[in-house]
Amino acid sequence: MKILVAYFSHEGMNYVDGKIVPLSVGNTEIIAKEIAGLISGDLFAIRTLEPYPYDYKECVKTAVSELKADARPALANTIDVTPYDAIVLGYPNWCGTMPMPVKTFLCGADLSGKVIVPFCSNEGSGMGVSEKDIAKLCPKAILKKGISIHGKDFDETALKNRLETIFADK
């Protein structure tokens, strides 16, 4: 099975354990790289043409207005997903769902018949409504239950077992 680990992650000031701290590498990026190694997947970073603000509050403002507008921010890069059987899709929880560029990615890719395994780094909101959003945007994909991760705190063995179970099930 050929697997793509596609993720969006935000470098900059972020909300971690009740404090605003700088993250030079985003949590989702760290997890995505780990997962790609665990399951021998290819990595793809979903990037926007217009970078998000470094400042946390400014970034939240932008995220809220994009969510309200159901925006599809333009991406700086694309990938042909045709060769892949499964996409492990990573993103932070932004305002209760995935950041809107992840929706742009999903809308631009034909994921019919492909397995999607979402994982979401968050500070307490879990997957939010992101799985419902994926199901709406990709009705013909085979959507697996998502993996919620607090920040970048994951147990490598548990994560590996979980992914192996998901893919063995396919």
Ligand X SMILES: Cc1cc2nc3c(=O)[nH]c(=O)nc-3n(C[C@H](O)[C@H](O)[C@H](O)COP(=O)(O)O)c2cc1C
Q: Among residues 111 and 127, whose Cβ is nearest to ligand X?
A: 127
H/E element holding 13? strand 12-16
Least distance from ligand X to the Cβ atom of residue 25, Å: 8
The gap from C-alpha 117 to its chain's centroid, in whole angstroms, comes to: 10
Alpha-carbon distance of 143 to 113, in angstroms, equals: 10
Least distance from ligand X to the Cβ atom of residue 121, Å: 4
Beta strands in 52-163 (DSSP E): 86-92, 115-122, 142-143, 147-150
Binding site for ligand X (CB under 6 A): 9-10, 14-16, 23, 26-29, 56, 59-60, 63, 92-96, 121-125, 151
Q: Among residues 63 and 115, whose Cβ is nearest to ligand X?
A: 63
Q: Among residues 58 and 110, whose Cβ is nearest to ligand X?
A: 58
Is 71 within 8 Å of 31 (Cβ atoms)? no
Least distance from ligand X to the Cβ atom of residue 15, Å: 5
